[in-house]
């Protein structure tokens, strides 16, 4: 018999660092769909591809998984305020979960480097929003300093409680499929997500639910690709705002995820990201923000270059909903705005535009 999903802490309570009686701050996160994508499987010439659609979380991104655990721990420690540096999705999640916990949230965002869709969420949840004259890395440095010297609780992914919540996505993949995929790809920004999946799949192997871990692939935007260049990028630039990060906080954990799973890092251009963004919408029915298309774009690039491993089953995590950054869906590939055609309120007029002939 089906049951009401209770959020990742209650659903995986015995696999998370919580005790009976601890405060649980939840908005019902997790339980996101794993969507079969035959059009993408055909494009990549593999048996099956599933999309782990994290845009179906309460605030529209995978960040909610880690925020429920981070804010619950903040509540356990008696925190009255939480702080986060963000390119957008973390700010939305931090603000929403802080409201649910009865706390104040403070979010530091790079000035002019956040989509309005995400900023509007933080505003709606009454966050104290400060635009920092700098990039995400400057914001994270400030957030860390403030949490160490002032009475605010840091809820960025450098907080290990965040990874504990995010690892549950790996559990859900197995729960849905009954096995681990051969390869699991995702966008790569601050590197918390690939680190969390690595943690989750390792635990699945340790308890015997899987015998072999998936190859973990993290794909970056070419203008913000420190894992490809081998060193921090001082001025990261890409239209994929959620992964516009030049100095990832989870660098060592991500490197371990790649090495221990025989995985890979890759990068794709903004043009390649936008092409896949449109493909996912038009061919799979899954609408994501541009950065979320990066994982799939990286695999397609590898396929075209002949470097995609011969595997049968792939899972790709698409991290955020398309309504997070909808402007790109309203533009042609040439960058022109797409406008609906105007038509008279007559069936004949609509039929003419659609090229329909009247029934005989």
Residuewise pLDDT in 10s, the chain (360 residues): 678 999 999 999 999 999 999 999 999 999 999 999 999 999 999 999 999 999 999 999 999 999 999 999 999 999 999 999 887 899 999 999 999 999 999 999 888 767 778 889 999 999 999 999 988 889 999 999 999 999 999 998 889 999 999 999 999 999 999 999 999 999 999 999 999 999 999 999 999 999 999 999 999 999 999 999 999 999 999 999 899 999 999 999 999 999 999 999 999 999 999 999 999 999 999 999 999 999 999 999 999 999 999 999 999 999 999 999 888 888 877 778 888 899 999 999 999 999 999 998
126 φ/ψ sector (left φ>0, alpha ψ -120 to 50, else beta) = left
Q: Strands, E, within the chain: which ranges?
A: 34-36, 48-53, 81-85, 104-110, 128-132, 153-154, 183-187, 215-221, 264-268, 313-318
* 3-state class (DSSP) for residue 175: helix
Number of CB atoms found within 10 A of residue 274's CB: 21
CA 99 to mean position of chain CA atoms = 22
Question: DSSP letters along 34-72, please?
Answer: EEE-HHHHHHHT-SEEEEEEGGGSTTSBTHHHHHHHHHH
Which are the contacts of 164, defined by CB distance < 8 A and separation ≥ 6? Answer: 16, 17, 66, 69, 199
């Amino acid at each position: 018999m089906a049951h009401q999903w209770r959020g990742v802490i209650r659903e995986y309570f015995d696999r998370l660092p919580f005790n009976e009686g601890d405060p649980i701050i939840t908005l019902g996160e997790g339980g996101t769909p794993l969507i079969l994508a035959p059009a993408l499987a055909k494009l990549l010439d593999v048996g099956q591809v599933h999309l782990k659609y994290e845009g179906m979380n309460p605030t529209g991104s995978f960040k909610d998984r880690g925020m429920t655990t981070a804010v619950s721990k903040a509540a356990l420690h008696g925190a009255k305020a939480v702080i986060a540096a963000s390119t957008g999705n973390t700010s939305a999640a931090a603000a929403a979960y802080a409201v649910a916990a009865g706390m104040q949230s403070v979010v530091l965002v790079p000035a002019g480097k956040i989509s309005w869709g995400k900023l509007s969420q933080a505003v709606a949840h009454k966050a104290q929003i400060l635009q920092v004259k700098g990039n995400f890395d400057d914001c994270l440095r400030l957030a860390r300093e403030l949490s160490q010297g002032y009475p605010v609780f840091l809820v960025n992914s450098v907080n290990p409680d965040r990874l504990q919540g995010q690892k549950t996505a790996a559990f859900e993949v197995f729960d849905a499929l009954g096995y681990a995929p051969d390869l699991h790809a995702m966008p790569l920004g601050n590197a918390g997500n690939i680190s969390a999946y690595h943690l989750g799949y390792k635990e699945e192997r340790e308890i015997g639910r899987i015998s072999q871990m998936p190859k973990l692939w993290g794909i970056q935007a070419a203008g913000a690709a420190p894992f490809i260049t081998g060193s921090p990028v001082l001025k990261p630039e890409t239209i994929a705002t959620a992964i516009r990060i030049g100095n990832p906080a989870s660098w060592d954990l991500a490197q371990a995820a790649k090495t221990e799973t025989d995985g890979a890092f890759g990068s794709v251009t903004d043009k390649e990201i936008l092409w896949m963004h449109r493909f996912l919408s038009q061919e799979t029915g899954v609408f994501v923000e541009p950065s979320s298309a990066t994982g799939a774009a990286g695999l397609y690039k590898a396929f075209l270059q002949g470097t995609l491993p011969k595997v049968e089953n792939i899972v790709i995590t698409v991290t955020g909903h398309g309504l997070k950054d909808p402007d790109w869906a309203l533009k042609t590939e040439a960058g022109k705005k797409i406008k609906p055609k105007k038509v008279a309120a007559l069936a004949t007029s609509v039929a003419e535009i659609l090229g329909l002939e009247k029934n005989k």
